């Protein structure tokens, strides 16, 4: 139950204080705590609600104290927040799936509102947590789970809610975008860029979640559930990372008027929704092509608004804290002024079924590495034609002096991915092909 005993008198009117408990005082947790403490008057003035930091759950007391939180509100066990009858909103900022799931469940079971920045948790365990939120009629807010300081969830849920969305493209991982930007602008190989990103703190010691595309996949699943009213099983999504991107393809893409980005793509076609995370070629004039460094961006196409693009910091202490605090204030207003409702939760029934990547239709960049001898290009074109794939252009590069082979770049017209891969299976089996063929999708 919500606390009902705490009031402050201001301007002759009684105003209920909404008490907040934060679990976790790491990077985002400390940013959230500092922002709540330093901006309390600003938040009250703008929202009409007094939000009070009433508890911080953190095993490392010194780390909690470093945020400015007073010693008397620091507890070691998260249950000191989730089971505290005086706490109205529980903010989960420990990350991961294991203990975070227990924290959110405990809060919801005690009928408390929850704010989280945990995309992995909601993407992988969201079905059960949202069901519990429905059962307990408790808000579960997660603006900070996608895009850090970009209010993309708010835009979909409220700002653009009259639209049927026809496409969603996102650059949702700052680590990958930083690495690709360095490759494009400075001609640095992938491995060296990754080491630099780790040295600068953009990438973890084990970068698999980022460079493997899984972080982007978690975020895409949440955005797609919102935009397309469809429950998404994360395990069934198509996910590719940037760990196999070759500098040659980055350079060849530029020669053809494209840049390379790790994209989150959601496109409905009929009753199917195609969701994919993959490195893709974007025309240099595309609105997302100029999103550089560690920035994130989301491009939404709606049947009323046409295109809307949001760009900003996708991670970091204060950009993410900004989104967390905005959720805290939004939930606090709901608790004070409206009947307690869970706000948005995924639909019980999905509007779409997930489409198989083999049925995805787009244009393709194909780099073949072939023996430098007559007839090879004609054989490749023949196999593509047999599979029903139309060729837009062919570009043969200079001979590689050490190996005696050449790179041949094919750009296709729109084709079904299953047909492309059928042709590649036949082509790559030829003794004229000297290395695995590179396939990159072109998104326009």
Active-site annotation, residues: 219
Gap between the terminal Cα atoms of the chain: 50
Instruction: Using CA atoms of 241, 244, 246, 252 in order, give the dihedral in degrees to the nearest 10.
Output: -50
Q: What is the largest CA-CA distance in the chain?
A: 90
| Closest alpha carbon to 351 in 222, 230, 220, 226 | 230
Could you give the CA distance from residue 84 to residue 56 in angstroms, rounded to a whole number? 11
Could you give the CA distance from residue 235 to residue 295 in angstroms, rounded to a whole number? 27
User: What would the two tokens of residue 113 be?
Assistant: 């509102």
Q: How many CB atoms lie within 10 A of CB 189?
A: 13
Cβ contact 311:286 at 8 Å: no
Chain centroid to Cα 151, Å, comes to: 12
∠ CA 343-346-352, nearest 5°, is 145
- Residue 168 φ then ψ, to 5°: -140, 125
């Amino acid at each position: 139950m919500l606390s009902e005993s705490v009031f402050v008198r201001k301007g002759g009117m009684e105003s209920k204080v909404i008490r907040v408990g934060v679990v976790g005082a790491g990077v985002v947790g400390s940013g959230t705590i500092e922002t709540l403490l330093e901006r309390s008057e600003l938040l009250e003035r703008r929202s009409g609600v007094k939000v009070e930091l009433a508890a911080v759950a953190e095993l490392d007391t010194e780390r909690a104290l470093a945020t400015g939180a007073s010693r008397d509100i620091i507890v070691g066990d998260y249950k000191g927040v989730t089971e505290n009858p005086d706490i109205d909103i529980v903010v989960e900022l420990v990350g991961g799936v294991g203990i975070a799931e227990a924290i959110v469940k405990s809060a919801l079971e005690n009928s408390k509102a929850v704010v989280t920045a945990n995309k992995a948790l909601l993407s992988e365990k969201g079905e059960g947590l949202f069901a519990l939120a429905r059962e307990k009629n408790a808000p579960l807010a997660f603006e900070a789970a996608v895009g850090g300081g970009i209010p993309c969830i708010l835009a979909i849920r409220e700002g653009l809610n009259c639209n049927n969305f026809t496409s969603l493209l996102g650059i949702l991982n700052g680590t990958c975008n930083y690495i690709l930007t360095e490759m494009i602008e400075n001609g640095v190989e992938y491995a060296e860029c990754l080491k630099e990103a780790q040295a600068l703190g953009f990438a973890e010691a084990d970068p698999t979640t980022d460079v493997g595309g899984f972080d982007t996949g978690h975020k895409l699943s949440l955005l797609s559930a919102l935009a397309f009213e469809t429950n998404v099983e994360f395990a069934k999504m198509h996910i590719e990372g940037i760990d196999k991107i070759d500098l040659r393809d980055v350079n060849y893409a530029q020669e053809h008027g494209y840049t390379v980005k790790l994209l989150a793509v959601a496109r409905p076609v009929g009753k199917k929704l195609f969701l994919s995370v993959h490195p893709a070629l974007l025309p240099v004039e595309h609105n997302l092509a100029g999103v550089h460094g560690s920035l994130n961006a989301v491009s939404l196409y709606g049947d009323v608004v046409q295109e809307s693009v949001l760009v900003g910091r996708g991670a970091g202490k204060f950009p993410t804290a900004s989104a967390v605090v905005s959720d805290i204030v939004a939930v606090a207003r709901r608790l004070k002024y409206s009947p307690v409702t869970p706000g948005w939760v995924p639909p019980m029934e999905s509007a779409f079924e997930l489409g198989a990547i083999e049925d995805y239709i787009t244009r393709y960049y194909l780099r073949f590495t072939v023996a430098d001898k007559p007839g090879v290009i004609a054989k490749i074109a023949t196999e593509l034609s047999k599979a029903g794939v139309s060729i837009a252009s062919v570009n043969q590069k200079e001979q590689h002096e050490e190996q005696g082979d050449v790179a041949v770049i094919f750009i296709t017209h729109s084709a079904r991915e299953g047909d492309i891969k059928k042709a590649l299976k036949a082509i790559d089996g030829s003794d004229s092909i000297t290395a695995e063929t590179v396939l990159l999708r072109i998104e326009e």
